[in-house]
Amino acid sequence: MTSAPLAGRLTRVDGPLFFPVTAYGPDGSPDLDVFRAHVRRGIDAGAAAVFACCGTGEFHALTPEEFRDCVTAAVEETGGQVPVVAGTGYGTALAIQYAKTAEEAGADGLLAMPPYLVVADQEGLLRHFTALAAATALETIVYQRDNAVFTPETVVGLSRVDGIIGLKDGYGDLDLMQRIVSAVRGEESGRDFLYFNGLPTAELTGLAYRGIGITLYSSAVFAFAPDIALAFHRALTSGDDRTVNRLLDGFYAPLVELRNLGRGYAVSLVKAGVRLGGLEAGGVRPPLSEPLPSHVKELAALIERGRALLGNGAEDGGTEDGGTEAGDAEAGDAEAGDAEAGDAEAGDAEAGGTRDGGTRDGSTEARA
């Protein structure tokens, strides 16, 4: 745990917010050594904060004991260099239990995911998150998505709750977000309330969210291609829209098209990217499924294309070489394995234990 308040440390950040995957060993149990190495790589690459055991970290798939061990490992590995925010979710009682476990493990804050299964009214949602925030001394960020979409009035209520410091938006309605920002700003409470773009591959909507004053965002790409994510972050925060648009057109937009080819790819494809980088993080747990081998091969080529854009600024996004050895090892025989890979849509995950949902048109997606 760091000594400084989480809200202050996140108000101005110099790097992306890092959502590490949870590494599993050959026996399927968490591999804490690999997880620590993954967290360390992110910190060394310039992460501004570590969000452990959230959507990308398969919170939904972890036992309480595994959750405790992973959060503890993240806290120990960061050594106070950056804050550690732990996921929590399910119903109110279990969410409080996970929150207390995170506090005991030394986390600096909580990302409160939607309650499990039920569709509650606004009063019930406010009661749920108020009770969760009161259960520990940890500062809490509330995650808006799926069955936890708020009216501006409810967010005003959340902003008045001691311990709730911000809202992460995974719903993607900019009209609603502008009305939320305006309503909270109108309170003139003197408190800074933070907002985060929490859409899958948030960089794709970075310019739009920046337009309404929201510059904090979760970066799944940082988990497997931190150099690309950092370049984009620097360009977005400095107003270098030429670089932003080059990376959007040549890397991020094609990545989203690839991500949309399979259910749960916002997690499983990220984990494949980590493996392409040479870190054996294992596969994903059910109900998620592994991406098709041909899609992993596409991801490897796309990463190289993104790095070529950084290296030479080429508008056409051409690649420079054949990729990394680790990427070749995983992607090289991809085409031969397609027939046996199964249907990627079979597995669907929910970071908050709800019906999930990466898009507002009814399709589903697990994410950070």
Which amino acid would we find at residue 139? E
CA-wise closest residue to 281 among 58, 44, 68, 54: 58
Residue 127: partners with Cβ closer than 8 Å, 6 or more residues away: none
Which amino acid would we find at residue 311? G
Residue 353: partners with Cβ closer than 8 Å, 6 or more residues away: 60, 89, 90, 113, 114, 115, 116, 117
CB count within 10 Å of CB 80 equals: 13
The neighbouring-strand residues paired with 216 are 196
Which amino acid would we find at residue 128? H
**Token couple for 305:** 């294309």
* Residue 308 CA to its chain's centroid (Å): 25
Using alpha carbons, list the distances in angstroms from residue 5 to 108, 188, 206, 317.
Answer: 8, 21, 26, 41
Three-state secondary-structure class, residue 296: helix
Element (H, E) at 141: strand 139-144
Torsion on CA atoms 158, 209, 367, 191, rounded to nearest 10: -30
As a whole number of angstroms, the distance between CA 5 and CA 139 comes to 8
Residues marked as catalytic: 143, 168
CA atoms within 13 A on the CB side of 14: 6
Exposed / middle / buried, residue 85 (Cβ in 10 Å: 0-12, 13-18, 19+): buried
Exposed / middle / buried, residue 139 (Cβ in 10 Å: 0-12, 13-18, 19+): buried
